[in-house]
Amino acid sequence: MAKVSAIRCAQYDDGKLDALMDGHFGHLGIGDGGLAVDGRRVFIKANLLKKSTPDEACVTHPRYVGALARALMSRGASVTVGDSPGGDFSASHLRRVYKGSGYEEVAAEFGFGLSYDTSVTTVGTGPTYKVTKAVLDSDLVVSAAKLKTHALMTYTGAVKNMFGAVPGLTKAQHHMKNRKAFASMLVDVCEAVRPHASFIDGIWGMEGNGPSGGTLRRMDVSVASLSPYAADAAAMALIGLGTGDVPYMAEAAARGLCPALGELEVMPEGFEAMVGAFGVRDYAMPETRMVSLRTVRGFLPERLRRLFGGGARTCPVVARDRCVGCGDCADICPASAVRVMGGAADIETRGCISCFCCHEVCPAKAIDIVPVGKLRKRAAKVGKDG
């Protein structure tokens, strides 16, 4: 059985968060038999996808991470927090993201370190991957994820959070893979980094077109486990997703890494009680996932996918009235399908591989996700009207 701790917490209030972490640590035996932390150097891998204020629910809330750091430090660990956000992997970009996301302030207040180490190393047997050295230069790695939907993978939590160990713009190149290969790579990276414990901040989650362009969803729950797969399986069950709905969880299950729901030992009151207390039936999924058949399509070879799924393909479209012309989408696009002209971005749909990296990094929420069929109708209408 894989132990999972699911605890109610309705606010990012320091006292409540301290009690929350004590609860999780007690359930999982962290600092007390389940996972020794005394005298150990811990790297907390937060989800810092991009500079984003905590109330936008795009990044793991800094006070949640602060409470986790405090709980570890009070048990004798030294703590460094970090991530490799989307874009340039440099100390100056890290500083901007830490500051703009509230981490700098919380780190100074609580006395934990922030990582500015931008050195890179290679991991993996068989396929190898470049990852940030800072994550591996520790005794223990802890995943501090955010409960969110994800346009490409449907859901992101503890396992997908480890993709942040891949440095900056290198991430976008991995999106050139097909969906199944990308999912497989996510599991490879998670296995290479192997977080010793995983926490999912679901107090406020993100639904709809996550992981950065969605809308806030209050869930009042925090989920933790020593297994990232068990933590994700439990969190996904709360928003109505099974392993077959999320390509990398399907891959993890196929490799025997992901426990079945019946194998989860959920504390304090069991799986059914957790779902009864926190489960929702109407968590909005990304527009990229309208019917479950789409997920199945992700595992079909490209030619068959086109045959069966062409009409359901979705694409990013720039809303020119919201675009501020920053060029972040063009910088990250692995297919070079974006150009910025006349102060706004333009996406060449034919060259686009629908990886949604542009959608993730856009600071202005100026990129919508639209079914290709609608796009064609829209273009035809413009042609007619124009």
Which residues of the shown chain bind ligand SF4 in the complex (CB under 6 A)? Answer: 316, 318, 323-329, 332-333, 335, 337-338, 340, 345, 347, 352-358, 362, 364, 366-367
Give me the half-sphere count of Cα atoms (radius 13 Å) on the Cβ side of residue 219.
Answer: 34
Cβ distance to ligand SF4 smaller for residue 151 or 234 = 151
Cβ distance to ligand SF4 smaller for residue 26 or 334 = 334
Reference 199, options 101, 77, 71; nearest CA is: 71
Q: In angstroms, give the least distance from the CB of 96 to ligand SF4.
A: 15
Q: In angstroms, give the least distance from the CB of 338 to ligand SF4.
A: 5
Q: In angstroms, give the least distance from the CB of 341 to ligand SF4.
A: 10
Q: In angstroms, give the least distance from the CB of 331 to ligand SF4.
A: 9
DSSP 67-124: HHHHHHHTTT-EEEEE---SS--SHHHHHHHHHHTTHHHHHHHHT-EE-----EEEE-
Cβ distance to ligand SF4 smaller for residue 153 or 337 = 337
Q: Report the alpha-carbon distance of residue 102 to residue 244 in Å, rounded.
A: 35
Cβ distance to ligand SF4 smaller for residue 206 or 318 = 318
Q: What does the DSSP 8-state code read for residue 195? A: -
* 285 Cβ contact partners less than 8 Å away, ≥ 6 residues apart: 149, 154, 207, 208
Name the token pair of 174. Answer: 């991995």
Q: In angstroms, give the least distance from the CB of 92 to ligand SF4.
A: 19
Q: Say which residue the tokens 């077109």 belong to.
A: 209
β strands within 234-376, DSSP E? 264-267, 314-318, 338-341, 344-347, 367-371
SS3 content of the chain, % helix, strand, coil (to 5): 40, 25, 35
Q: In angstroms, give the least distance from the CB of 359 to ligand SF4.
A: 6
Cβ distance to ligand SF4 smaller for residue 169 or 284 = 169
Cβ distance to ligand SF4 smaller for residue 241 or 318 = 318
